[in-house]
Chain A
């Protein structure tokens, strides 16, 4: 069994706590030796995952919680974001995500359509389980030069 440290954080499903979690991941990733760029990527990815649960799962009541787990491994950071309060329609969320294309009209652009796309673009591996609440599991490797599986737009930036 691979050794790892596990950190768990539970915050109210409210927008004001997204920044708190962002500071937490920044500290953990910094401790692990991630680069400045990678830390910024992690901050955006975890914010997107939590924003999703804050805006989608708890629209009717605001007393829900989001559980965040950090698996600190030798070579990677695994981040789990779980909301057990409700669930959003995953297909609906997946529908229409992706980069803007010239063929799309500006009118069709969705205000909230880029969250999952950004997670996918910024992390090395992303899994989403929608069977019981919503669990997003995302991984970023230390010293990973190749970012993303299939999106050449990512690897060409900076």
Chain B
């Protein structure tokens, strides 16, 4: 019932590897790690959700905040390797329409 947040820095790009559950308890940690990354102009933030097996609306809220921040700071965010169960919440809420979500292709450049 925890979340691990691991950030790998590359040139003009941060890869955020998440593992565990995103809920009211773990969301603040994610927000603290994710938002500063979106404040760098021209930066790409790639969030890898492959190991995230649970998420609820608190997680959606963080990604909404991060998306807003990318618009304000001229940066980009993409969500990759998202599991079906988690993707479903983005679809139900319509957020898949406005977020850059890539569920099928493996992200990262390692």
Contact = CB atoms under 8 A, between A and B. Distances in A.
A100 B61 contact: no
A100 B92 contact: no
B68 A118 contact: no
A157 B67 contact: no
Interface residues of B, number: 28
Nearest to A20: B1
Contacts of B67: 106
Contacts of B85: 40
Interface string A104-137: 0011011110110110011000000000000000
A-side binding surface: helix, strand, loop or mixed?
A: helix
21 contacts: A18-B25, A20-B1, A22-B1, A43-B54, A44-B54, A44-B56, A47-B23, A48-B56, A106-B67, A107-B71, A109-B64, A115-B56, A115-B57, A117-B57, A117-B93, A118-B57, A118-B92, A118-B93, A153-B91, A157-B92, A158-B88
Interface of B: 1, 21, 23-25, 54, 56-58, 60-62, 64-65, 67-68, 71, 84-85, 88-89, 91-95, 97-98
